Amino acid sequence: MTLEQDDWRAAAACATTDPDMFSDDNWQIQERAKTICNTVCTVREQCLTEAMDNEEPFSVWGGLSARDRARLRKQTA
């Protein structure tokens, strides 16, 4: 991955919020993280693409939990 491909991370809403919120297993905390992704983040699509391409098994990425992404993978397979 080149630096340019990774530049979206600096613009991510999670870069300026509590990072633990995005990796917490508690569904209520995950819902708050998803809300941040889906309402404030300007790079949500790049983030979700990164997680889907790399089959990220943990955390909230692009407004979806690991469970949400697994369901999306099954739907698009």
b/e for 7-37, b at 16 or more Cβ within 10 A? ebeeebbbeeeeeebbebeeeebbebbbebb
pLDDT in tens, 2-48: 445 668 999 999 999 998 999 998 999 999 999 999 999 999 999 99
Tell me the sheet residues that pair with 61. Answer: 64
The answer to whether 14 is a known ligand-binding residue is: yes
Number of domains making up the chain: 1
The answer to whether 29 is a known ligand-binding residue is: no
The answer to whether 41 is a known ligand-binding residue is: yes
pLDDT in tens, 40-56: 999 999 999 999 999 99
The pTM for the full model equals 0.87
Give CA–CA dist 25/41, Å, rounded: 21
What is the domain range of residue 70? 3-76
Q: How far is CA 9 from the centre of its chain?
A: 11
Give CA–CA dist 64/5, Å, rounded: 21
